[in-house]
A and B are shown apart, each in its own frame.
Chain A
Amino acid sequence: MRSSDVLGYSFSAIRLRKMRAGLTTLGVAIGIAAIVALLSFTAGLQVTMTDQFEEGFGSDTLTVSSGGGIFDMLGGGSGDSDFSLLLNDTDAINSIEHVESTVATMTKTIQANFSGNVVPASLSGINFTAYTSMYTTFIAEVGSIPESPNDTDVIIGSLIANPWDNGTIIAEVGDEVSIVWTGRVNGSIVQTNYTGTVVAILEEIGGFGFGPSDMGFYIPIDWAVKFFDTDEIASITVKMDTEEQDEIDALIEEIEDLFEGLVTVTQPAALLGMMEDMLGILNIFLAGIAGISLIVAGVGIMNIMIVSLIERTREIGILKGMGMHGRTVLGIFLSEAMMIGFLGGIFGIVAGVFMGNLIGGITSNLGDSGIMPPGSPANIPPITPIFSFELLTFAIVFGVGVAVIFGLYPAWRASKLKPVDALRFE
């Protein structure tokens, strides 16, 4: 029998039981739609996060901090300590091989008062010039970053100036800002303040990371040392002149030895890799969940095909009686399963593309919808689901594959029926 005739015959059998075939196809379509929607979304998420990380981190930098580093921030870190990095520690680091430059960052939490609008902010004391050369995202959108700044010069992130991202501007270049810091100096609690002038507002950065942030508030490091009356700093960012992981590892070890293991050296690029690994696991996990629904659909296919086999035993007997080979019977049943899988795959892809875009749309609109609190919207970048050719091909192949695998047993049983027995079947 010609394969086109086998397909035609199978199709006529499917058409006869539209409802049954339709429901089975729906089962496959739901599974495929879940796979397409989830995987396209995580693919989009991965790209978005990778972009964010690469912008926020600088791939050729290391961050040296006292204590447990970022793992302290994640909570539970023992945070050893009495040990603090000092401003002049940068000199020691600068003398190590493969260190191109360093930037020390002093971090304090302050209240910034822009003529009545009080915003809590994380203030960073930095060397403007060195920071600019370290991070490409440290660029002024309005005003300019001074090369030799005055003590009272202040640079702010876009979200400080425009906290709700809705046009309500609370700070502009040239505005004065009153900075209030409450802290402990030499054992006694003091509240000090000074008035600075906004000289630049940064371009929107988005994302998150170790580098400049939209919520940042930057003053010159020299002034920070005087104002806070300390030369203890939070972290030192190191720019490297190598991309060889061996050399980077050696450099990390050398810095750690330099401070006798009291500092943590974090390689953002390695973090990025870690994050990608985690996303990969998430991907497998989600695909697994979607895969389960497809397996359920496969069991459905097997079920209706066994019912169909029993109903059509006599028909199989007639066909074999006319000289049809067992493998042709196998082909007829398998192509029925295949058609269901293929149709389910097509419908599933259409539904999956729709669902993926829907999920993407919902997450993109979170900021505007008021679900997320003000101040955080820019940290949720729009996630565009990615429907790669590979994903769509995989979806079809997987749908057809599952259908064929689960159709194999009923088809095999049909092909093995003896014509005499099948013809006698009532």
Chain B
Amino acid sequence: MTATLEYTMESEDFIPKVIEIKNLTKLYMMGEVPVAALRGVSLSVNKGEFIAVIGPSGSGKSTLLNMIGALDRPTSGTVLVNGTDISTLTDNQLADLRQSVGFVYQTFNLISRLDAIGNVELPLSIAGVRKKLRRSKAEVMLKIVGLGDRIHHKPSELSGGERQRVAVARALVNNPAFIIMDEPTGNLDTKTGLEIMEFAKKLNREQGITLIIVTHDLEIGSQARRTIRLRDGQIESDEVNY
């Protein structure tokens, strides 16, 4: 952050919150057959942690992520996000909760017709923030991710790494309790992927933002301070890297 920014992030903008999961199970119906994507997962995330969830495809990573991100409800067990049990919430309350979660997807998921700043403004717009304030916030955030000179570029005019940085800015702009990154480097070349990871680490280190990265890339996973391995819907190992 430089001294010339119009909006200065305040310390409370980055207060991390906690996730607590107990005996989480999730069943999907594949036609007539129920398939257990998660079978009794328990874990908790402290504020400021940098966690990598790794495991092969089908291990339940994405399902876990959807629960943490309040996109879906558990079949049984509890998921406390910011101390709120998501299984008791209505659709609208879940939506409100998602406003305090930052998502970064593998495929960027930017709205193609909006320019970079338009995309970053969206979460603020959904939260009902006034145009002027959200514009300046989004601008600051784009400068933080190093795209201050590209705010009016459409996603199609940006490189993969730049798009992912717009996505990161969008995830950060609404002061999220934590950020979930789903294979954030999956669609990027190695060098750009490492840049994004460096940036993520920096965010975690300097701003204390809680980061949960889902990946099947062991190298990416090894950069986190804590690694959770999932296999067949259960936690295989949960260890802290030194």
- A residues lining the B interface (CB < 8 Å): 1-2, 5, 9, 12-13, 15-16, 314-315, 317-326, 328, 418-420, 423
Give the shortest distance, in Å, between B95 (CB) and chain A (any CB): 5
CB neighbours (8 Å) of B111 from chain A are 315, 318
CB neighbours (8 Å) of A322 from chain B are 98-99, 103, 122-123, 126, 170
**Taking CB as reference atom, which chain A residue is nearest B102?**
A322
Roughly how many angstroms separate A311 CA and B96 CA in the complex, as a whole number? Answer: 25
Mask, B84-109, CB within 8 Å of A = 1, is 00000001100111111101010001
Give the shortest distance, in Å, between A280 (CB) and chain B (any CB): 49
With known contacts A1-B125, A2-B128, A328-B126, A323–B99 Cβ distance under 8 A: yes
Say whether B69 faces chain A, with CB atoms less than 8 Å apart: yes
**Taking CB as reference atom, which chain B residue is nearest A321?**
B103
Mask, B61-74, CB within 8 Å of A = 1, is 00000100101100
Output the residue of B92, B99, B126 with the most chain A CB within 10 A: B126
Do A12 and B113 touch (CB < 8 A)? Answer: yes
Output the residue of A314, A323, A325 with the most chain B CB within 10 A: A323
**Taking CB as reference atom, which chain B residue is nearest A328?**
B126
Roughly how many angstroms separate A326 CA and B131 CA in the complex, as a whole number? Answer: 22
Do A325 and B128 touch (CB < 8 A)? Answer: no
Give the shortest distance, in Å, between B166 (CB) and chain A (any CB): 13
Q: Which of B69, B96, B100, B131 sits near A321, CB closer than 8 Å?
A: B69
Roughly how many angstroms separate A314 CA and B107 CA in the complex, as a whole number? Answer: 11
Q: List 7 A-B contacts (CB under 8 A).
A: A5-B125, A5-B131, A12-B113, A322-B103, A324-B126, A325-B92, A423-B71
Do B128 and A319 touch (CB < 8 A)? Answer: no
Give the shortest distance, in Å, between B230 (CB) and chain A (any CB): 18
Do A325 and B95 touch (CB < 8 A)? Answer: yes
Roughly how many angstroms separate A239 CA and B97 CA in the complex, as a whole number? Answer: 83
CB neighbours (8 Å) of A326 from chain B are 91-92, 95
- Please name 6 further chain A to chain B contacts, defined as beta carbons within 8 Å, in addition to the given A325-B92, A419-B72, sorted by A numbering: A320-B95, A320-B98, A321-B103, A322-B123, A325-B95, A419-B71
Roughly how many angstroms separate A334 CA and B155 CA in the complex, as a whole number? Answer: 27
Say whether B15 faces chain A, with CB atoms less than 8 Å apart: no
Roughly how many angstroms separate A318 CA and B69 CA in the complex, as a whole number? Answer: 12
Roughly how many angstroms separate A321 CA and B102 CA in the complex, as a whole number? Answer: 9
CB neighbours (8 Å) of A317 from chain B are 109
Give the shortest distance, in Å, between B183 (CB) and chain A (any CB): 13
**Taking CB as reference atom, which chain B residue is nearest A320?**
B95
Q: Which of A1, A15, A321 sits near B98, CB closer than 8 Å?
A: A321
Say whether B1 faces chain A, with CB atoms less than 8 Å apart: no
With known contacts A320-B95, A420-B72, A1–B114 Cβ distance under 8 A: no
Mask, B35-48, CB within 8 Å of A = 1, is 00000000000000
Say whether B127 faces chain A, with CB atoms less than 8 Å apart: yes
Roughly how many angstroms separate A317 CA and B72 CA in the complex, as a whole number? Answer: 12
Roughly how many angstroms separate A315 CA and B113 CA in the complex, as a whole number? Answer: 11
**Taking CB as reference atom, which chain B residue is nearest A16?**
B113
Give the shortest distance, in Å, between A19 (CB) and chain B (any CB): 15
With known contacts A2-B128, A323-B123, A323-B127, A13–B71 Cβ distance under 8 A: no
CB neighbours (8 Å) of B96 from chain A are 323, 325
A-B pairs with the 4 shortest C-beta distances? A323-B99, A323-B98, A16-B113, A322-B123
Do B66 and A420 touch (CB < 8 A)? Answer: yes
**Taking CB as reference atom, which chain A residue is nearest B130?**
A2
Do B128 and A314 touch (CB < 8 A)? Answer: no
Roughly how many angstroms separate A324 CA and B91 CA in the complex, as a whole number? Answer: 10
**Taking CB as reference atom, which chain B residue is nearest A315?**
B111
CB neighbours (8 Å) of B69 from chain A are 321
Output the residue of B91, B97, B101, B118 with the most chain A CB within 10 A: B91
CB neighbours (8 Å) of B97 from chain A are 323
CB neighbours (8 Å) of B122 from chain A are 319, 322
CB neighbours (8 Å) of B103 from chain A are 321-322
Roughly how many angstroms separate A70 CA and B70 CA in the complex, as a whole number? Answer: 80
CB neighbours (8 Å) of A419 from chain B are 71-72, 98
Do B109 and A314 touch (CB < 8 A)? Answer: yes
CB neighbours (8 Å) of A420 from chain B are 66, 71-72
Q: Which of B105, B109, B126, B130 sits near A323, CB closer than 8 Å?
A: B126
CB neighbours (8 Å) of A318 from chain B are 109, 111
CB neighbours (8 Å) of B128 from chain A are 1-2
Give the shortest distance, in Å, between A6 (CB) and chain B (any CB): 9
CB neighbours (8 Å) of B66 from chain A are 420
With known contacts A1-B125, A5-B125, A323–B113 Cβ distance under 8 A: no
Give the shortest distance, in Å, between B119 (CB) and chain A (any CB): 9
With known contacts A1-B126, A321-B71, A323-B127, A12–B114 Cβ distance under 8 A: yes
